[in-house]
Amino acid sequence: MRKWILPALGCTVGGLVIICMLAGGGWLVWRWVDANETQSTRADRDGGDSDDDTSSEREVSPDETEEPAERTADSDHGEEIFQSLCAACHGADATGIQGLGKNLTTSEFAAGLSDEELVAFIIDGRPASDPDNTTGVDMPPRGGNPSLTDEDLADVVVYIRTLAVDASTSLVTEPPMTETPIMTEQPMTEPVVIPTETEETVEMITATPEAPLGIGSTQISSIDGAVLVFVPSGEFLMVSSAEDNPNLWGSEYPPHDIFLNDFWIYQTEVTNSMYQLCVEDGSCNPPQNSGSETRASYYGNQQFSDYPVIQVTWIQANNYCEWAGGRLPSEAEWEKAARGTDGRLFPWGNDDPTGSMLNLCDENCPRIEWRELGIDDGYPDTAPVGSFPQGISPYGAYDMAGNVWEWVADWYLVNYYSQSPVDNPQGPTSGTEKVMRGGSWINNFGGAFNVVRYKEETSAALNSLGFRCVVD
């Protein structure tokens, strides 16, 4: 009998039948029948009668003992383990791996490892082929959960393989003999009909389609490691009326319905460490000033790496977003990401702001004239991005109110809303100042409303002004 080894993701070898799981989640069945094999010997092999080639099964007598059925790897169970232990670094939809400053897509990473290496990576925290961890990717053994069984690991491998859509497979006619892949001990998760014809037969079972995008969908940028949240297309009411909100600053009227295409927006403001990647790449200039209101050393100080970058002009912010594969959001996109479609006053709803919802000018704020006495948000200056989960927007974006103002793409025109187009408005075609949204740590409650607008010249760089990006 000739033995065949296929460099596929995982194979089950039984007699002259080879069944392999493909990278996309399907199965490949390959059966080789020797041309010199007689009908009689084939029937003997298959356990049937040589006079009846329509039967491929035989009865099992009560006295015979059947071998226990092999366990079927459970991709759904593997997904549950992945989401509970792995999603914090790999993303909820497993779109990336973050580690030591490097970012790889899960599919690229998984496709580059054999089954043994992938399981070793899960067990030991690094690939077996890279004991010195030269890849720059590392994780705790067994995802930080030593109670995971070998069956659990097999389920996780099957789930990861369904994501490895970029892997490639091929049939090798005269391959060298190698060790049997670990997946040979895992039976198929989908039924496959074994052909009885003498010719070679290939049958594919396609992978389950990915879930559609919607609220809660996320992805991770391969360039700066940012998490992006999905904002679906549709209409929403932009700004509020004077009757609904008498605290506005004068340029927020009139209310109007608009339609926006879907887009992805950064879950947080761009941080010092993210911006530094662009500077180190030679594509961005450093901030205009490396300090903040209360800190002489801010940008470039590891202590504040996850704080929002400040002291950048509109030109610098726009340049960064282009380097990261995106752009600055339009004013309309920013507002929808902040408030959703129900007309709420703040990202979290209509409840009055508290110190647990946003970073504003509280009782410790150095700007005495703007202090909100009796409120303590824990920060007299900027705060680490994502520090106020109670203030999250309907789409999962943090700090859409407070912390720092954010540059958007639009030129500022005081009465633009009275002439704004209905579909995907981009702002005036020219101007002298760019719009800022969201309020900051130097503002009181008045700056926290979703619809508040302010403006600065493109050359302005403030210690209360940052930005975030969007990707189409």
β-pair partners for 238: 256
The domain segmentation of the chain, as residue ranges, is: 1-48+71-211, 213-472
Please name the fold of domain 1-48+71-211.
Cytochrome Bc1 Complex; Chain D, domain 2 (1.10.760)
> What are 165-210's pLDDT values in tens digits?
433 333 223 333 333 333 333 343 443 333 443 444 333 333 345 6
Q: What's at 420, amino acid-wise?
A: S
Confidence band of 250 (pLDDT split at 50, 70, 90): low
Q: How far apart are CA 230 and CA 436, in angstroms?
A: 22
DSSP assignment of 139-155 equals --GGGG-TT--HHHHHH
Determine the distance from the C-alpha atom of residue 156 to the mean position of all C-alpha atoms in its chain, rounded to a whole number.
Answer: 18
> What are 294-327's pLDDT values in tens digits?
999 999 999 999 999 999 999 999 999 999 999 9
Confidence band of 53 (pLDDT split at 50, 70, 90): very low
Q: How far apart are CA 443 and CA 367, in angstroms?
A: 9
Residue of 224, 256, 430 whose CA lies nearest to 335? 256
CATH number of 213-472: 3.90.1580.10
The pTM for the full model equals: 0.57
Taking every pair of C-alpha atoms in the chain, what is the biggest distance, in angstroms? 99
